[in-house]
Amino acid sequence: MAIRENPSLPNRHTAYIAKSGGGKSQALKQNKAIPRTGARVLLWDPNRDHKKHSTLFPSNDVAGFNKAVVKAMKSGKGFRLGYIGENGDYDAFDNMFCRLVWECLDGQIPLYILIEELAGVQKSPGVAPPVLQTISNQSRKYGGIMHWTTQKPTEVSKTVISATENFWIGNPGKFSTKAMEDYLAKAAECPNGAADLKALKPLQFYRSDSEKSELVTLKYKNI
């Protein structure tokens, strides 16, 4: 289980929200807050977005993924290991991936938890499933740093959203609700509300944290 609690650690959980094709994975991969080398990184990557710099295990190789993570943790070195989970496989996400994340947490060493399309493994937008709930609410003090993407924020658990401190907010698209658009516009501190979000082009985001919000335009990179 998680060890060496450090309550002084800041909340660095980060969300990347935009419609399909908005550039969420690009924003995640270009975020300099995630070290390129030397860090401990675990990924849930159903679309193989991170195959270039990570070792990914297919959804039929749970044993191989677990074995690789245990070996990497024992080595004391950095690693980037991912599982090609399937959307809708709620059990594998919460009871395998999230549970493994919890076992790897150490308040003295950061662990970056990258989850692509979180809505795909959420049964409802209410309370998160048990282990994800624990990670959302408690991993911060054990060095856990969640980075999650979604094109359907209305389907992501309120537990996760309320525990998230930082946002990259793009165009939410036509499937978002007015209530969610208003929430995102407020988080992004948009001068003209949700209209500013709807005007964003692919790879444009309002990057928001507890101190400020700024509009950023990324360039596509083959990373």
Cα 200 to Cα 21, 75, 171, distances in angstroms? 12, 44, 5
Tell me the percentage of the chain whose pLDDT exceeds 70: 100
pLDDT of residue 166: 97
Are the C-beta atoms of residues 153 and 162 closer than 8 Å to each other? no
Contacts of 185 (CB under 8 A, 6+ apart): 193, 194, 196, 197
**pLDDT tens for residues 62-75?**
999 999 999 999 99
Residue 175 in this model has a pLDDT that exceeds 90: no
Please provide the average confidence, as pLDDT, over all residues in the chain.
95
Q: Which of 161, 165, 167 is nearest to 132 (CA)?
A: 161
Are the C-beta atoms of residues 46 and 53 closer than 8 Å to each other? no
* Token pair listed for 205: 């985001």
Confidence of residue 196 (pLDDT cuts 50, 70, 90): very high
**pLDDT tens for residues 123-151?**
989 899 999 999 999 999 999 999 999 99
Report the predicted TM-score, pTM, of the whole model to 2 decimal places. Answer: 0.96
Phi-psi label, residue 76: left if phi above 0, alpha if psi -120 to 50, beta otherwise: left
Residue 211 in this model has a pLDDT that exceeds 90: no
Are the C-beta atoms of residues 167 and 208 closer than 8 Å to each other? yes
pLDDT of residue 176: 79
**Angle at the Cα of 181 (from 122 to 86), degrees rounded to 5?**
20
Burial class (CB in 10 A: 0-12, 13-18, 19+), 165: middle
Q: Fold for domain 14-217?
A: Rossmann fold (3.40.50)
